[in-house]
Amino acid sequence: MPAASPHTRPARPAPRVVDLARARETRRLRDFAERCRTVDDLNRRALARLFQGGMIFTRAGARLGRDLLLAHQHLLRVGDLLARIGALGADGARDEAEALFDEARHLLSRTTRLTARTGLVLARGQ
């Protein structure tokens, strides 16, 4: 059995290659999903406050309820868009993914405005 020479290095595994564009997209999807969950939680709490205080049965409360319903519909659409973006994955689909991100960003900003307006009215009412 030949002796190992002192200059022989042990075989090292190949370094792991990370696709930074893919990692950024994955993080962006996670951030969007987290923002959606946060806004959804705020909307649920606001709706609960409308029902608990009986304000839902007033004209202003019904309008706020409709706004919260619209915000929820926007969040569902954002969730669908994020699922489509996650399914794309191909390099050639970056333009399509960017268009979907823009639509998701727009819907999430509209939802945030609706939630903020509802929060202001609830704060004034109580």
pLDDT digits (tens, 9 = 90+) for 99-122: 999 999 999 999 989 888 888 887
**One-character DSSP codes across 1-62:** -PPPPTTPPPPPPPPPP--HHHHHHHHHHHHHHHHHHHHHHHHHHHHHHHHHTTGGGSHHHH
Model pTM score: 0.76
For the chain, helix, strand, coil in percent to 5 are: 80, 0, 20
Q: What is the pLDDT of residues 3-26, one digit of tens each?
A: 555 667 777 887 788 778 788 888
